[in-house]
Amino acid sequence: MALKIANIKIKGYNKNMIYTIGYAGVTIDRFVQILKNMKISLLIDVRSVPKSQYFYQFNNNLLSRILANVDIKYENWKDEFGARQDNLNFYTDNILDYGKFAKSQQFQSGISKIKELKNRGENICLMCAEIDPINCHRAILCGKEISANGINITHIIAKRNGETYIENQKDFEKRLLQTTKVNNLSEAYLKQNKKIGYKLT
């Protein structure tokens, strides 16, 4: 079950942990404060188009400058982890197939870079737009595969009403099973992939 936190803080760097967060509806000040409280040193933007129509402060150029002012590095990994890909071989029935894409050289290159960055001491958070990780490829694709490579995932859920929760991968997957109403975790991931995956027009 997700844990409600008034002022999230961690005690130090965890070599075996990666965080995720969605920014939709969160003020930039609150967003930055959450990252600072979690001692994030590197924010990896997994948006294929690193801009926001409604939250301009999360456009990549401006966001990178804002984060630089608080000593947090910013990188966009649209090639490695983006939800929209140009290669048609990654699609099944016109939907980006997370299983296929996860096996690609570019995605696996991202996994290798994650491991290298963690070994160098970076405290990493993956960022996309959606508030709930169940509705975002940062969890259904990236979180699933990173977790399978032995790195723990913690999802930060910052809601519009000001409440903030953290949810570990085990609790996330329990909620995913409940949400998709299936009993098999692989089937649950596949069902959610079909629901939220990028669709070719």
DSSP H/E element including 21: strand 17-22
What is the predicted pLDDT for the residue at 101? 98
Q: What's residue 16's pLDDT? A: 81
Residue 86 main-chain phi, psi, to 5 deg = -80, -25
Is pLDDT of 182 > 60? Answer: yes
Q: How large is the average pLDDT for residues 110-135?
A: 96
**Weakest-pLDDT range from 14-23, 76-85, 184-193:** 14-23
Determine the 3-state secondary structure of 78 from DSSP.
helix
Q: What is the pLDDT at residue 6?
A: 47
Q: What is the DSSP letter of 85?
A: -
Residues 6+ apart with CB under 8 A from 33: none
Q: What digits encode the pLDDT tens for the residues 78-115?
A: 999 999 999 999 999 999 999 999 999 999 999 999 99
Give the CA distances from residue 152 to residues 20, 45, 125, 176, in Å, rounded to whole numbers and listed in that order. Answer: 11, 19, 12, 17
Listed residue (137, 163, 13, 157) closest to 78, CA to CA:
137
